[in-house]
Amino acid sequence: MIDAPRCRHGLAGWAPVAAFALAASVASTAFAAPPRSAAGAAAAKAPMPAGIVLDGPYHGRSDVFAFGGHGEVRFGHDRERGIENPEWLSFPRLEAFALARIHRRAQLVVDAAYDRTMDQLILERGLIDVRVAPSWSVHAGVMLPPLGRANREHQSPRAEFSDRSLVASDLVGAPVSMFGIGIHGLRGGAGLPAMTYELDIVNGYDDGVVTEASPGTRIPSGRNSAGDNNGMPALAGRLAIRPHPGSEYGVAAYTGQYNTTEVEGATVDDARYLHMTVLDATTMVSGFRVSGEAGLAIIDIPPALRAIFPEQQWGAAVEVSRGLFRPLIAAWRTSSLSLAIRGDAVDFDRTIPGDSRSRLTAALNIRPSDRAVVRGQWFYEVTRDRFDNDAPAAGVAASGAIYF
Amino acid sequence: MANSREMARSCADRATRASVHGDVAPMQPATHRRNTAVSLLLATLLAVAIVTGCDRLLTERPDPGTRFDQPIEGLGNGELGRFQAGQAQFRRGFTIDEGLGPVFNNRSCASCHSADGRGVLENSLVRFSRGLDPITAEGGPQLQDKAIPGADPEVLPPGVDVSRRLPPPVFGVGLIEAITDSCILSHADPTDADGDGISGRPNYVMAESFVPATEPGGGPGPRIGRFSRKAQVPALLQQVIEAYHQDMGITSSFRSTDNVNPLSNKPNPDQARDPEVGGGEVDAVMNYVRMLAPPAPGEWTDRRRQGEALFVAATCATCHVPVMRAGWHDIEALANRDVLLYSDLLLHDLGDGLADNRPDGSADGKEWRTAPLWGMRLVREFLAGDMLLMHDGRARSVEAAINLHGGEAAGAASAFQAMTADERAALIDFVESR
């Protein structure tokens, strides 16, 4: 195992980030005044990029202190090539969050979650958010970088499926948290569609992309919100437009060095970069909610590993859902029934036919209220190894998720 | 007080900020009727699907004998448990943090053996030596062309004898282990005493010192080699340990020091604690491959019976002996049974065309162990439609493989070539049905 990195350059690469943070602090003081115009006030209430702070239901008041959380339990009957998986009970996600307003323009957010994909309790968010102006803010700390919508919006009671798309889980690694600093804001108005933007300077993925990945290059293995392994910040950003209510089209990008170049003073490798682009879209078509996500990642792999560690990966997911009844039960005003179907796939190596996963999922969601869901789900999945041999798996599951 | 009331009201009216289905407004009657119809239709379809196709919707277990990774029939519950545990270890991909490397060829057993069958050209191994000298000081006897960050992969030294080897199938090796020495020796004819032009001799080799005498093929003194392309490995334990060490760079209590590139002056960057796998993991993998069943041969047809007769008439069956006999084995399912191997496990001179000019044990540069033909019917299925035959995968069809036979097998190849097209097709059909 490679030791904890001791990079000769230390945190030199973070100097511009510190300067940016200082400038943002000064700016936040300078702009520390209430919005003076009606337009400014309207902009302040307009939707900002989702998920930076908290957008779930909570107890308390967002202008003082609020807290909340959600959890999910899943009962499943899964089989791989006809052989049953003995694990019939699982807890895909348990999350608790809190928000404290420390100033009229600043708030602290803490969000801890156990997520089954990581199998550990992690700090997903621990940040300070400062509203510099009505339409833009600065945030710093541990954050969920905007690598597609799914990395931000993965609260179980809202989701149509108990698991995330393969683009989110296997390509991006959602939920992926990083630490750093960034800005986010909203533009538009006066007849133009609303546009949200975010740009973050973060620590980025680490060597785990290669060193902790057993089946070949796996970006989720490089998730790291605890430290920086190479002293070089990465950039993540997203631009989205909302042409009309219920629709959003976003493009996200990430670039950064992922590897450690020196161990104990000795150079072990050149700097290697990971670049990723994620497109996402959500819209309504004839009463159906249609959403999709597609991602492409390019990873610079050391030459001596390229034959078995792929350098290009991509994935795509399309989800169609429709609310069938609302209210489902007359006495429960917000109860509903919806049906959703998703097709998703990820190709871990663009250069060969195999090394991929593809899946079809159907779900029936009964929501007694907006705060809870009882879900019936079926999936059929085909995993292909690097020889292109298939391993079909399928399952039915009943799950329940609720805000608490 | 006002603030308290406001907070209380807010708490009571909590959870209203997020509208989960804001886009689904209360419905008009016509919409409601339409959705009711859609729901009923979906519910009916779902019920029909569940009743008629539950297994198909949830994947079906493959029939026995149709894959390379199935357990041999007759295992007890405890043995099946060991088989499953071993399968997980066989498929385990090692990470660099877990000790992969510093130099290596691949990261798991399963990544070389396609579905436990043979490998492909891209992951074939290069073995090299200078004559009988394995030249370990220069990186021999196997080229590790991949390296973790901080290490240099090996490059082939000049002037060495080189042999490219396709990863062989791993199913059925328990049965090969159980075949008695006397059965193998009964087919040997090292001096060609019967004058048929085909000799065949065992490769007597010494087991590595870490293989205990209690292991089949272990202990002091020469043993009949059974495994690998030149039958240069007498014991399954040795094969597994060397695969961990040479192919993946994984140390075990049997080979506890990292396999490094001796020609590199860089410090070893593999910081994983040695041994990187314990005896339990080694044992699990060994027992897994031991208990892997060979696929069942295809159904007999008249054409295949004709092909079998031609196979025997052309003297193919002299080396590709259809049935060998297993003796005692501590796994009862492997013991005292016929083994449809289509190999005598002996060394034969296959001529200059196939020679790698590189000795292995007592095998010379032209000699190869008779390749078992079991599982031939599934080769294409698990190689994406391809057929890679001979030690280095150079033959893409059974016909091409037969035509490459020289040396002692030249007569058989000539007999095949003298057949009519229909007869050749029947023989090929027979071989491809094994």
ipTM of the complex: 0.85
**Would residue B49 be called left, alpha or beta, if left means φ above 0 and alpha means ψ between -120 and 50 degrees?**
alpha
CATH number of domain containing A215: 2.40.160
Task: Report chain B (434 residues): mean pLDDT per 10 consecutive residues.
Answer: 41 35 50 68 71 76 93 93 94 93 95 94 92 89 94 94 94 97 96 93 95 93 95 96 96 95 92 94 96 96 97 97 96 97 97 91 92 96 93 96 97 97 98 97
Residues B114 and B226 occupy one common structural domain: yes
Count how many domains chain A has. Answer: 1
Residues of chain B with C-beta less than 8 angstroms from the C-beta of A62: 17
For A159, name the nearest residue in chain B, comparing CA atoms only. B20
Q: Kindly provide the b/e burial profile for residues A174-197, where b requires at least 16 CB atoms within 10 angstroms of the residue's own CB.
A: bbbbbbbbbbbbbbbeeeeebebb
Indicate whether A204 belongs to any domain: yes
DSSP summary character for residue A365: E
String of DSSP letters for B47-111: HHHHHHHHHHHT--PPPTTSSSS-BPTT--HHHHHHHHHHHHHHHPPPPTTTT--SEES-SSSTT
Using CA atoms, how far apart are residues A209 and A190, in angstroms rounded to an integer? 45
Which residue in this structure is represented by tokens 């979650």? A113
Using CA atoms, how far apart are residues B83 and B289, in angstroms rounded to an integer? 8
Closest residue to A57, CB basis, from B16, B25, B59: B16
Q: Which of B229, B258, B291 is the last residue of a domain?
A: B291
Using CA atoms, how far apart are residues B294 and A143, in angstroms rounded to an integer? 53
Indicate whether A206 belongs to any domain: yes
Indicate whether A240 belongs to any domain: yes
Chain centre to alpha carbon of residue B117: 4
Among the listed residues A140, A127, A147, the one whose alpha carbon sits nearest the alpha carbon of residue A240:
A147
List chain A pLDDT tens, one digit each, 404 residues: 334 434 444 455 666 666 655 565 555 444 443 333 333 344 344 446 666 677 778 898 878 899 999 999 999 999 998 888 888 999 999 999 999 999 999 999 999 999 988 888 999 999 999 999 999 999 999 999 999 888 988 889 999 999 999 999 999 999 999 999 999 999 887 788 999 999 999 999 999 999 998 889 999 999 988 788 898 999 999 999 999 888 999 999 999 999 999 888 888 899 999 999 999 999 999 999 999 999 999 999 999 999 999 999 999 999 999 998 888 888 888 899 999 999 999 999 999 999 999 999 999 999 999 899 999 999 999 999 999 999 999 999 999 999 99
CA dihedral defined by A39, A42, A44, A47, rounded to 10 degrees?
-130
Residues B272 and B309 occupy one common structural domain: no
pLDDT of residue B10: 41
Residues B330 and B378 occupy one common structural domain: yes
Indicate whether A27 belongs to any domain: no
Indicate whether A184 belongs to any domain: no
Rounded to the nearest angstrom, the minimum Cα separation between B7 and chain A is 6
Q: Which of B263, B291, B319 is the last residue of a domain?
A: B291
pLDDT of residue A264: 80
DSSP summary character for residue B363: B
Indicate whether B181 belongs to any domain: yes
Residue B402 near residue B430 (C-beta atoms within 8 A): no
Is A394 part of the contact surface with chain B (CB cutoff 8 Å)? Answer: yes
Q: Which domain holds residue A84?
A: 73-91+159-176+191-403
Count how many domains chain B has. Answer: 2
Indicate whether B249 belongs to any domain: yes
B59–A392: do the CB atoms touch at under 8 Å? yes
Indicate whether B418 belongs to any domain: yes
Q: Is B226 helix (H, G, I), strand (E, B) or coil?
A: coil
A158–B149: do the CB atoms touch at under 8 Å? no
Indicate whether B68 belongs to any domain: no
Residues of chain B with C-beta less than 8 angstroms from the C-beta of A323: 21, 23-24
Residues B359 and B390 occupy one common structural domain: yes
Indicate whether B55 belongs to any domain: no
Residues of chain B with C-beta less than 8 angstroms from the C-beta of A214: 92-95, 98, 107-108
Q: What is the pLDDT of residues B247-257, one digit of tens each?
A: 999 999 999 99
Q: Which of B243, B268, B291 is the last residue of a domain?
A: B291
Residues B206 and B254 occupy one common structural domain: yes
Residues B316 and B279 occupy one common structural domain: no
Residue A387 CB contacts under 8 Å (≥ 6 apart), including other chains: A354, B114, B115, B120, B382, B383, B384
pLDDT of residue B3: 44
Residue B428 CB contacts under 8 Å (≥ 6 apart), including other chains: B307, B397, B398, B399
Indicate whether B274 belongs to any domain: yes
B59–A82: do the CB atoms touch at under 8 Å? yes
Indicate whether B153 belongs to any domain: no
Residues B276 and B312 occupy one common structural domain: no
Indicate whether A152 belongs to any domain: no
Beta bridge partners of B126: B164
Using CA atoms, how far apart are residues A371 and A404, in angstroms rounded to an integer? 8
Residue B434 near residue B299 (C-beta atoms within 8 A): no
Strands A106-115 and A120-133: antiparallel
pLDDT of residue A245: 87
pLDDT of residue A22: 56
Residues of chain B with C-beta less than 8 angstroms from the C-beta of A393: 59
Indicate whether B152 belongs to any domain: no
Interface of A with B in 363-392 (CB under 8 A): 367, 370-371, 378, 380, 385-389, 392
Rounded to the nearest angstrom, the minimum Cα separation between A82 and chain B is 4
**Distances A363 to A111, A177, A346, A377, B344 between C-alpha atoms, Å:** 28, 28, 20, 4, 56
**Distances B90 to A57, A150, B87, B107, B124 between C-alpha atoms, Å:** 47, 34, 5, 11, 18
Residues B285 and B354 occupy one common structural domain: no
Residues B277 and B354 occupy one common structural domain: no
Closest residue to B20, CB basis, from A158, A269, A380: A158
Across the A:B interface, residue pairs with CB atoms under 8 Å apart total 173
Residue A345 near residue A166 (C-beta atoms within 8 A): yes
Residues B111 and B191 occupy one common structural domain: yes
Rounded to the nearest angstrom, the minimum Cα separation between B122 and chain A is 8
Rounded to the nearest angstrom, the minimum Cα separation between B418 and chain A is 37
Q: What is the pLDDT of residues A224-273, one digit of tens each?
A: 887 888 989 999 999 999 998 889 999 999 999 999 998 888 888 999 99
B61–A246: do the CB atoms touch at under 8 Å? no
B153's tokens: 């992969």
Please work out, in degrees rounded to the nearest 5, the angle formed at the alpha carbon of residue B322 by the alpha carbons of B317 and B328. Answer: 135
CATH number of domain containing B384: 1.10.760.10
Indicate whether A360 belongs to any domain: yes
Indicate whether A380 belongs to any domain: yes
Using CA atoms, how far apart are residues A137 and A116, in angstroms rounded to an integer? 32
Interface of A with B in 190-219 (CB under 8 A): 207-208, 210-216
Average pLDDT, chain A: 87
Q: Which domain holds residue B284?
A: 77-124+166-291
B11–A324: do the CB atoms touch at under 8 Å? no
Residues of chain A with C-beta less than 8 angstroms from the C-beta of B248: none
Residues B97 and B221 occupy one common structural domain: yes
pLDDT of residue A21: 58
A389–B114: do the CB atoms touch at under 8 Å? yes
